[in-house]
Amino acid sequence: MKKKILIILFLTFNFSEWIPLGQLLTFPPTMGIGGRDLAQMNIWAGSCAWALSPGSSGVNFLRLAVGARAAGMGEAFTAVADDASAVGWNPAGLTQIEDKQIFFVHGLLPLFVNQDLVSYAQSWDKYSFGFSANFLSSGKMYRTTENASGDYTGTNGQFESVDSAFMFSFAQRTGGFGFGATLKILRSVIDSYSGNAIGVDVGFLYRFGNNKNFKLAAVLQNFGSKMKYSNDVQDGLPMGMRLGGSYAVGTELGKMNLSFDLNLPIDHSAGVHLGLEYWIQDIAAIRIGYKTDRINDLDALSGLCCGGGVKFENFEVDYAYVPYGDLGQTHRISILASF
């Protein structure tokens, strides 16, 4: 079966607009994709977010959840983010850090795709800053060829797709109010084509209530220049806004965090995210979440997320499981070190 899986290259504009038909980048039959239909592949190609039509924003790896803790809570994390992962979620969350932290993430995603991220953050009096490097790699893929009729005719070498984001954050705390901003330097490389862009996030956080256990947050994401490719093609960033809240409840066994996010992208319908995190004696955590973003593209069960974590001394290790319907499952592992 002929499969023109163009969009699997993690850009959501139509590649056929700028790559000749005979050089379309597709998966050959030997990769065993078989019965999965093109619509399902479109969903994953939007960087695990949703299928986007040509002309809508690209660079969609920026939509991927940063960290296993956030992924396990259904990505309801805008107000929760209180560690080095805040660089990728809400820079204002860095005002909650009281020490120095290093954060590592590895994501095992469908179709041989891997996500790797490292972050560093620290506080100094009422100021905080952070740095993060985020990479998404497809691994080796075949460059296939076809004849004038569009039939598969063979392969012509291999290529890789790598997206990267280098992020620099600064935040300031004034009483219960926090403000932060992140500068993003973005690069996308697919075969011999490459593009660059600059984006900015601006975030806010307000903590109040007893022990400041109730939090409200907002963040404007990915506002900046278009991704400009070496062949003069341009693609907009996935701009949007997230609103969130969280409430920490003390129990006999430990602290429980209840959270929600409202995701408002400019190129897709709004999504609701709900999350719960329950710490047992501040040693082990159980997490569950639900998000409505992909219900229409996959199925209702694909909105369900879960995970857990453990703490020992100055380390925290977290895991998250997120299903993607017929596309398979995703797994994320993250490690947070405080010192």
Q: Report the alpha-carbon angle 105-111-112, nearest 5.
A: 55
* Dihedral (CA of 225, 230, 231, 237) sign: negative
The secondary structure element, H or E, covering residue 242 is: strand 240-250
pLDDT, tens digit only, all 339 positions of the chain: 333 333 333 333 333 333 332 333 333 333 333 333 333 333 333 333 333 333 367 788 899 999 999 999 999 999 999 999 999 999 999 999 988 999 999 999 888 899 999 999 999 989 999 999 999 998 888 888 888 888 888 888 888 889 999 999 999 999 899 999 999 999 999 888 899 999 999 999 999 977 789 999 999 999 999 998 877 788 889 999 999 999 999 988 999 999 999 999 998 889 999 999 999 999 999 999 999 987 766 677 788 999 999 999 999 999 999 988 777 889 999 999 999
pLDDT at 268: 82
Q: Which two tokens stand for residue 304?
A: 């369900």
Instruction: Establish how many alpha carbons lie within 13 A of residue 134's alpha carbon, considering only the half-sphere containing its beta carbon.
Output: 25
Using CA atoms, how far apart are residues 271 and 304, in angstroms rounded to an integer? Answer: 13
Burial 151-184 (b: 16+ CB within 10 A, else e): ebeeeeeebebbbbbebebebbbeeeebbbbbeb
Beta pairing class for 234-235 and 315-323: unpaired
Residues 63/48, Cβ–Cβ less than 8 Å: yes
Maximum C-alpha span of the chain:
70
The phi and psi torsions of 225 (rounded to 5 degrees) equal -75, 165
pTM of the predicted protein model: 0.82
